[in-house]
Amino acid sequence: MTDTARSETRIAALRRKNFCRYYLLLGNPTEAALQAGFAPEKAAEEALALLQNHSCRAYLAKLAAQPALPIQTLVLSGLSRLAFGSAKDAVKLVFSEEMPSDEMLSRLDLFQVAELKRVKGGGVEIKLFDRQKALERLLECAMSADSSAAANALLSALSIPQEEANALDDDEADALLPKTTARS
């Protein structure tokens, strides 16, 4: 097998695994296939084929048996997608001359879209989610996680049993204390 063929086989296997992960997360086969990287024009067909595939069903069962992702992880994932994701499909929709078919609409990634409205005269108005707000929320979440980790470290340090604290030599004890500057 050539290096190119091996690479294509690995990419296909990764797409199948990603499809399974997205399918469990989203519950929509076509959307899962799109998110896994399958071509939009073949996403629905590929999704159905994967759902009928024995090894794919076995992998889905294995994934389903694992504990669910915490909601914080899902929220961070959504915020990341809003902050860094592409709005190109929304732009396609705005500049299309006629109303797209249901099939084409189902292939569009409209995650960035907050609101769709048909305006007088036949145009379409699309409002996108605010990337700046998504970035600010991501930063807040990151800072909250950092302060939570610091608080846990403090609680852990405070909960050292007395025997262990007494056993620390002066250098180890100094390392636990905050650094202060001497006053003249």
Give me the tens of pLDDT residue by residue for the chain, a chain 184 residues long: 788 878 888 888 899 999 999 998 888 999 999 989 888 889 999 999 999 999 999 999 998 888 876 778 878 888 888 899 889 988 888 888 887 888 788 778 888 999 988 888 877 788 999 999 999 998 888 888 777 776 677 666 666 565 555 555 555 555 555 555 554 4
The pLDDT value recorded for residue 92 is 86
Phi, psi of 67 (to 5 degrees): -60, 145
Three-class secondary structure of residue 110 per DSSP: coil
Tokens of 96: 């299309």
- CB-based contacts of 94, cutoff 8 Å, min separation 6: 124, 126
Q: How far apart are CA 127 and CA 130, in angstroms?
A: 9
Q: What's domain 1-67's architecture? A: Orthogonal Bundle (1.10)
Long-range contacts of 5-13 (CB under 8 A, 24+ apart): none
The pLDDT value recorded for residue 184 is 44
Q: Which helix H or strand E contains 118, and what residues bound it?
A: strand 113-118
C-beta of residue 80 within 8 angstroms of C-beta of residue 138:
yes
12-44 exposure pattern, b = at least 16 Cβ within 10 A, e = fewer: eeebbebbbbbbbbeeebbbbbbbbebebeebb
